[in-house]
């Protein structure tokens, strides 16, 4: 049997640490929407999107390779240190090259990708590059602390990476009356100072050595991860770019706020998933038949938690939005319930992809992300011009449904795993009907 007490405890730990980035957004967004202009709030959100994209390019999949091969060298201290410093030196080389490309063609790229002239490469592109560089290096430190079971160091560094930029941005807005550029620069500086201190501490006992053999090992693993991560970005974040192109920065600000509220579900789902996977995989390996029965029980519990969580967000969002945000943001109430429908299918995707990961049937997994990315782009291109933000929300739902259906078909074709979720399906169907009613009657 799966240890439910351990599951709940693990969910709490993962939930707290996983919630930190989103917690910063939640702490700051009432400040953003009440003090900053909608244009400034949209620019900050758009820079976050560019930052996410650049982090994938600048990390070059080496953070994933480090995660994969860490345990191969864990008990060979000098070898592990050389592996770490080789990755760091490779980061510097790759990021220097990409920075030169951005310096050369950054303005041109921004003019091609973004419609609004208020969103310029200088300064926002440079800020996003800086944040991405710091994020790539910090990911190695966090992986090292996590895999080395240095929980206290992992927790301290994670909390500081959340706390210092949040305080800096709050101070910039509330005390210095800063705009989007000033706020983003304060985040860049605070993150940079902390990161440099963290790197010095981390590398203090690791002589800088470079061994190209480690890159020969890492690159075959990192290259596919770049493609995989980019596809995920395109179906989860590229819609912000399309909204900026088809609508306005002000409408993008409304969508960002609505998505921030709805994305509480993402953290809940990630927390539950992170707590479940180790125990589920252990049982699938040692007692497959009973594990399937127990897994279905857990999926039902997680389904119930998802239903309750979505219902709570949907019912409390109107009070929160109408009382704590300006009237110019109140149209977000029409799309929050629809976005929550999308997160229901995010739950289903998380459930149905488990057998693919356990049985290592992942060769076609990038195809799922490609299908979702195509669905996201096509649905937004078709719906945004006519339906505006409502079209963007519906496009998100279409993308999640497409990904879930494709995953179910792949699982049926690749593995034998019996799902018994009839009651969950019924509860979700009733919840979707309620959410659609809230959306079209608000």
The per-residue pLDDT for 141 is 84
Cβ(271)–Cβ(140) below 8 Å = no
Q: For residue 280, what pLDDT band results from cuts at 50, 70 and 90?
A: low
The band of 16, judged by pLDDT with boundaries at 50, 70 and 90, is: low
Choose among 268, 332, 246: nearest CA to 33: 332
pLDDT at 156 over 80: yes
Residue pLDDT, tens place only, 65-115: 777 777 677 667 787 788 888 888 888 888 888 888 888 888 899 999 999
Q: Is 182 a residue whose pLDDT tops 90?
A: yes
- First-last CA distance in the chain: 44
pLDDT in tens, 367-388: 888 999 999 999 999 999 999 9
Report the alpha-carbon distance of residue 416 to residue 266 in Å, rounded: 28
- Helices (H), ranges, 237-263: 239-246, 249-262
Asked if 421 and 300 count as a contact pair (C-beta separation under 8 A), the reply is: yes
188-197, 225-234, 350-359, 422-431: the lowest-pLDDT one: 350-359
How far apart are the C-alpha atoms of 53 and 4, rounded to whole Å? 37
* Residue 349 pLDDT > 60: yes
Q: Taking a C-beta distance cutoff of 8 angstroms, is the pair 7, 276 a contact? A: yes
Q: What is the pLDDT of residue 5?
A: 53
The contacts of residue 260 (CB under 8 Å, 6+ apart) are: 22, 25, 26, 29
Average predicted confidence (pLDDT) for the chain: 84
Write a three-state SS string for 108-161. Answer: HHHHHHCCCCCCCHHHHHHHHHHHHHHHHHHHHHHHHHHHCCCHHHHHHHHHHH
With beta carbons less than 8 A apart as the criterion, state whether 399 and 371 touch. Answer: no
Q: Are 333 and 393 in contact (CB under 8 A)?
A: no
Rounded to 5°, the CA angle 51-228-110 comes to: 35
Could you tell me if 141 and 168 are in contact, meaning their C-beta atoms sit under 8 angstroms apart? no
pLDDT value for 13: 58
Least confident of 21-30, 223-232, 347-356, 403-412: 21-30
- Residue of higher predicted confidence among 124 and 297: 124
For the stretch 189-218, what's the b/e string if a residue is b when 16 or more beta carbons lie within 10 angstroms of its beta carbon? ebbeebbeebbeebeeebeeeeeeebbebb
pLDDT tops 90 at residue 338:
yes
Residue 294 preceded by cis peptide, ω within 30: no
What pLDDT is recorded for position 281?
Answer: 59
Output the DSSP codes for 165-212.
HHHHHHHHHHTT---HHHHHHHHHHHHHHHHHHHHHHHHTTS-----H
Check the CA dihedral 81-86-89-90 and report its sign: negative
Distance set, CA 286 to CA 250, 281, 282, 291, 361 (Å): 54, 9, 6, 8, 19
* CA neighbor of 242 nearest in space, from 369, 389, 132, 107: 389
Give the model confidence (pLDDT) of 235-253 as tens digits. Answer: 888 999 999 999 999 999 9
The pLDDT, as a whole number, for residue 152 is 76
Distance in angstroms (rounded) separating the CA atoms of residues 403 and 421: 18
Query: Taken in order 356, 359, 362, 364, is the CA torsion positive or negative?
Result: negative
More confident residue, 281 or 341: 341
Answer yes or no: are the C-beta atoms of 115 and 245 closer than 8 Å.
Answer: yes
- The residue-averaged pLDDT of 131-160 equals 81
Q: Decide if 31 contacts 170 (C-beta within 8 A).
A: yes
The 8-class DSSP code of residue 247 comes to S
CB 344 within 8 A of CB 310: yes
The tokens describing 307, both together, are 């239903």
Instruction: Quote the tokens at residue 285.
Output: 């390996």
Nearest to 1, CA basis, from 205, 250, 294: 294
Residue with the bigger pLDDT between 178 and 293: it is 178
Q: What percent of the chain has pLDDT over 90?
A: 38
Which residue, 268, 277, 352, is CA-closest to 310? 268
Q: Report the distance separating Cα 238 and Cα 113, nearest Å.
A: 11
């Amino acid at each position: 049997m799966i240890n439910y007490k351990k599951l709940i405890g693990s969910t709490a730990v993962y939930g707290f640490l996983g919630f930190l980035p989103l917690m910063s957004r939640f702490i700051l967004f009432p400040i953003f929407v009440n003090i900053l202009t909608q244009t400034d709030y949209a620019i900050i959100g758009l820079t976050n999107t560019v930052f996410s994209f650049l982090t994938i390019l600048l990390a070059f999949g080496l953070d994933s390779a480090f995660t994969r091969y860490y345990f191969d060298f864990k008990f060979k201290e000098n070898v592990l240190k050389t592996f770490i410093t080789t990755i760091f030196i490779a980061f510097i080389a790759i990021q220097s090259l990409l920075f030169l490309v951005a310096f050369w063609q950054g303005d041109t790229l921004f003019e091609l990708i973004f419609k609004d002239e208020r969103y310029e490469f200088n300064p926002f592109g440079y800020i996003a590059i800086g944040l991405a560089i710091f994020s790539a290096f910090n990911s190695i430190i966090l992986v090292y602390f996590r895999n080395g079971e240095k929980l206290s160091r992992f927790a301290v560094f994670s909390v500081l990476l959340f706390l210092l930029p949040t305080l800096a941005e709050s101070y910039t807005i509330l005390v210095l009356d800063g705009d989007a550029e000033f706020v983003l620069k304060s985040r860049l500086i605070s993150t940079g100072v902390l990161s440099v201190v963290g790197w010095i501490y981390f590398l203090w006992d690791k002589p800088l050595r470079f061994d190209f053999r480690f890159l020969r090992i890492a690159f075959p693993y990192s290259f596919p991860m770049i493609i995989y991560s980019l596809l995920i970005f395109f179906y989860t974040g590229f819609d912000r770019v399309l909204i900026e192109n088809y609508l306005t920065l002000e409408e993008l600000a409304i969508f960002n706020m609505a998505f921030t509220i709805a994305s509480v579900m993402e953290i809940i789902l990630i927390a539950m998933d992170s707590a479940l996977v180790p125990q589920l995989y252990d049982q699938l390996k040692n007692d497959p038949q009973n594990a399937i029965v127990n897994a279905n029980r857990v999926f039902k519990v997680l389904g119930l938690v998802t239903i309750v969580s979505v219902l709570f967000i949907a019912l409390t969002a109107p009070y929160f939005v109408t009382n704590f945000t300006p009237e110019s943001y109140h149209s977000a109430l029409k799309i929050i319930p629809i976005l929550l429908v999308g997160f229901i299918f995010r739950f289903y995707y998380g459930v149905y992809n488990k057998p693919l990961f356990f049985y290592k049937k992942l060769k076609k997994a990038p195809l799922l992300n490609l299908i979702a990315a195509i669905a996201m782009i096509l649905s937004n291109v078709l719906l945004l011009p006519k339906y505006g933000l409502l079209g963007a929300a519906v496009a998100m739902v279409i993308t999640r449904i497409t990904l879930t259906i494709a995953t179910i078909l792949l699982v049926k074709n690749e593995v034998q795993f019996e799902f018994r979720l009839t009651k969950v399906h019924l509860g979700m169907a009733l919840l979707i009907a309620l959410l659609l009613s809230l959306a079209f009657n608000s």
